[in-house]
Amino acid sequence: MERRNSKEWINSLKIAIINNDLHKIEEYSKREIPSFESIEEAKEALKLVNQATNILETQQYKISQQLRALKQNKQYTQSYKNNSTFNFQA
């Protein structure tokens, strides 16, 4: 893992958040957080981490909703196939 100074870390995380880049946000969630030069930098970083967390949680919720809808569609399709009254055999 490359070592960056705190300003670079903050700016890079900002860019990932602005671009809604889930892969970069995830990458930053796994990195070591640098030491900050001031309290203001630490507060800014905390806000960014909270924003990133919200983005990831929102995406997780959307994916779980999509998965639930897919499962329901699959169940419907299977029940339709099993209960079909049509017989198209030649």
20-74 confidence digits (pLDDT tens): 999 999 898 888 888 999 999 999 999 999 999 999 999 999 999 999 999 998 8
| pLDDT value, residue 21 | 95
Instruction: Give the SS3 label for residue 15.
Output: helix
pTM of the predicted model as reported, rounded to 2 decimal places = 0.71
Instruction: Pull the structure tokens for residue 38.
Output: 């001031």
**85 CB-near residues (< 8 Å, 6+ apart):** none
The CA-atom distances, in angstroms, between 56 and each of 19, 29, 41 are: 13, 10, 22
State the Cα–Cα distance between residues 21 and 82, nearest whole angstrom: 43
Q: What is the structure's pLDDT at 5?
A: 87
Over 70: is that where the pLDDT of 85 sits? Answer: no
